[in-house]
Amino acid sequence: MIRRARLPAALLAGALIASGCSPSAIPALEPANSSPTPAATAQAAPPFRTPFLPADRTPTAAAAALPSPAPLPDPKFARENGEPAPPPAEPIPFGPQVVNILLLGSDRRSGSAFRDDVLILVSLDSDEPRASMLSIPRDLWVYLPDQGMQRINSAFLIGEEHSYPGGGMGLLREALQYNLGIPVHHFVRVEMQGFQRLVDALGGIEVLVSCSYTDWRLESPEAPPQDRDSWELFTVAPGRVAMDGELALWYSRARARSSDFDRSRRQQEVLRALYRLIQQPNLLARIPAIYKALARNVSTDLTLPEILNLAPLAAEIGPAAVRSRFIGRDQVVNYRVPSSGAAVLVAKPEALRALLQEVFSPGSALDGGPLAGLEIELLDASRRPGWADLAAERLAYAGVATLGALPDGSPASQTVLIDTHPDDDPARRALLEVLGLSASSVLEDPDPTATSRFRLVIADDYNPCFDPTRRRQSSGG
């Protein structure tokens, strides 16, 4: 058996349920072959030539050489009109100990037409051990083998309708390999009823909400959605928020007053909450019942015995070893398709490649950066429940581990970063950037006996809101 089978049951079980953040109508669970972001604003088409047409050649005075016979394009990698496809992405190298699971959730409510509006790739490395979660925007404009240029979220449906080898998942696998250079080893597709039912069966989840979010929500699950009076503006405030299945689903899917990038952020918050819950030791015995509960709402190529065999690694992957990454505004540009007027996202090749290498390569920029191996003692001096947990989670996004969140005795009014080995070095500057703090927040307190260099005292003034879909390399986060 290859080593990639050592997948942690905790994150895998999270994969089985978190991709239900958007609805899909899926057959029974059997092995299958087949600061917050602002609301999006309408923009005119950017003034550049479509990147998918060959550029005009610059004329020269040199005599034209006799043309060489052009090789016929492989039909699998040509557009429907016979034009060559854009070049495939350079493959991302993965060792045999890595397993990549694609989480999918579709927008199908009735009928046969649907799109996959949730695409999150979970990559697990049993050697490190480490996990990476990459959110892929649904409107990413990609090449689908044999089908031409399409949104990535239409790949599954097109593969099903056109009887592509391997069905919808076969086409989606090839599209991700071709456009991102990422192989998909397993997949999980969950419909929203399954997600909601499972969260309720688990007794709810506690989501670390970093930014306040307000959007339209039905007054009650029974209210008719076609009636305007059924809707009300609902706000989820920052903090450790207890959510049942219905609220978790709404929080993961709402985007009327937001954007797909911000929705990706909230989806990963929910996924991380599920991961924390599933790490509890008593959950292992409940996995068969969970698997059975999902039978009508999930399609996957993972069997129950495979999942149960993966449990030992679960406790080894702590929060700081779970990377949350996003193909976001730094890696794409807005584009309007000339033939249809559709608004899509076109990748910036160099920026996208840099992100993928950072996320998936061993010994990445994160591991070798100024925050590598850093642990911080966290003290809670706030009067706001969950405030220290939000700081710990923000640090975890940057790969920084925290040593507890002990109360600091009396409440404080100002958040302070205590440096026990004072040095205005890259580590301290990067840490301030990750936390959104200024240099005035540093208190130098030399202490040669300190077990950790930094102590972070969280007070009422701490602002937990940050946008992980936009990252600066200098921060390491």
CB neighbours of 71 closer than 8 A, spacing ≥ 6?
A: none
- In Å, how far are 209, 265, 296 from 189, measured between CA atoms? 25, 19, 11
Per-residue pLDDT at 114? 60
Q: Over the stretch 140-163, which tens digit does the pLDDT of each residue have?
A: 999 999 888 999 999 999 999 999
Per-residue pLDDT at 107? 61
β-strand 213-218 against 205-209: which pairing, if any?
A: unpaired
Quick one: CA dihedral 131, 137, 138, 140, positive or negative? Answer: negative
Between CA 17 and CA 19 the distance in angstroms is 6
The dihedrals phi and psi of 36, each to the nearest 5 degrees, come to: -65, 155
Kind and range of the H or E run holding 205: strand 205-209
- Residue 332 in contact with residue 346, Cβ under 8 Å? yes
Between CA 417 and CA 302 the distance in angstroms is 45
Between CA 333 and CA 344 the distance in angstroms is 8
Per-residue pLDDT at 283? 76
Kind and range of the H or E run holding 126: none
Between CA 345 and CA 351 the distance in angstroms is 14
Peptide bond into 165 cis (omega under 30): no
- Residue 118 in contact with residue 104, Cβ under 8 Å? yes
Per-residue pLDDT at 119? 94
CB neighbours of 77 closer than 8 A, spacing ≥ 6?
A: 84, 85, 88, 145, 178
Per-residue pLDDT at 312? 66
- Ranges under pLDDT 70 in the chain: 1-84, 106-115, 309-315, 363-368, 408-409, 471-477
DSSP track, 415-427: -EEEESS----HH
Per-residue pLDDT at 55? 31
Per-residue pLDDT at 1? 38
Per-residue pLDDT at 40? 37
Per-residue pLDDT at 39? 37
Beta strands in 94-170 (DSSP E): 98-106, 116-125, 130-135, 141-144, 148-151
Kind and range of the H or E run holding 65: none
Say how many C-beta atoms besides its own lie within 10 A of residue 407's C-beta: 11
Residue type, 449: T
